Structure 1
């Protein structure tokens, strides 16, 4: 009797399909169980509105999670940063595979880096976090919001209407498009989004078979980093469309591996920011994130997140910061 295939729910975008197929292949390689992809259309796929206007959090995952609840699929693969920070009743993140490079990447005309783009150059990005941080660099760039998949965004550079776009390096790597990158942005300049580059593999909490089959995909270091980053985001009570950045790394400490977590909240016009960092044991990832969020809130993060949106055509303003940590 043949082993029944697992049904994996996925969006239809090229990146989502690539990520889902990678997970499917990893499951089959580790367990011998076949996996079939089931295409699901989400709210984020059919709307042309900006993600922030849609409410940001959850627009790419709600329909897929409903398919899990209904039993139409056995598991789902999400870009971890797209998930709401609150847990979904009845579902569990059964595996967090090893993370891709979480940094942001620039794709610019003529092979230019961010610092080489002339003042007034138009840079496209879909993330308020990137908008805020690029404006805070004080380079005089015109940062504009864009939507669309990776190929659509990149096509707006050459021979398109933009001088550059900023994308997640992880997505370009998974699509085999790193040759288009003109600069991988240093986190000291542009700190990544919480959970950027990480995947979340989700299934029903009571589905013991699927949970067991997903166990070999788990990467403990990646989960600890992402838990710390997302705990910061949750404690700030900010969604994925807020100008919040958080990035954790596993480093060698005196007593073994430890987490080094950095986070920032930046005003959308780039005029002000609060930044901080904390270090501690991997097993205290969530507590580290909450502690760092509390520090940022004490230094004015809530006011920066509550600031009104500035006009989309506005240019970046000069850099400003309450902390240089």
Structure 2
């Protein structure tokens, strides 16, 4: 049977702590001794993936241990050479990730390798220093006490999902294996098919549980997303509010008077303080008040009028009366004749003199 990287990955995901599971996968790998280098590289990629949890990484090391020791016993040196070339690098990266208990198990495996000389001395010189670079605390860190409740729920869901994932891979692998062994020409084909059905149903149940956890995780993530979007809108609203307050309090904006508020201020006329100035209307009750002439336009004339008559009020009164009086045509004609008569009399008087 030719080597398949997907099949090796499937077997690594299906491993459990039993000796039977390790030995079964090891026998298959030993049959691939001609592809030992490719097997080792595939094993390396699997164990260094960030998505591979520490439990499955430890099981992969157990599998490599069995393959390396069995190959030495059977005088198949290809696996010792292939795994010896990558083992210092791999353990140097994964060993710090393990808890103290898992580190003790890994170190015990390495000590067995040294006792049985499965690798060369040069490999062990590179290998042991990697086991002294661990900076992992004795116990895994717990979540902070003040962590948000939605984060706690999400962590719990992902913990369940991770735990379920390993059993799901194992169930699917058992189904694939039993399906491959199913022989339609066998006299017990019907019994074997029923067994495959049971294995398939177990795999489906495990996958259904995984789907349920994933739906729950998506729901929790959507709640967190909606909450963060709402909080972002509130923050943006507060930013706009702060900007408006700063603009309204800006001294430069107040002196420049951008809204033209000075044009809205009322103008006042000069007054002597009497109520008659503010309430006076010309023409009697029922008539609209006549328009006043602005005192500010002819200030020089008012000054001269004040000098001649004595008070500004008198001048203002004369102005109002002059503006208010509108002579009829007959009066205009009479005034014109009187003016002519007066002029003639003045002329005769001057001739007489």
User: How would you bin the TM-score normalised by the shorter chain?
Assistant: under 0.3
TM-score by length of 2: 0.22
Higher relative contact order (CA 8 A, sep 6+): 1
Larger-Rg structure: 2
More helix by share: 2
More strand by share: 1
TM-score by length of 1: 0.23
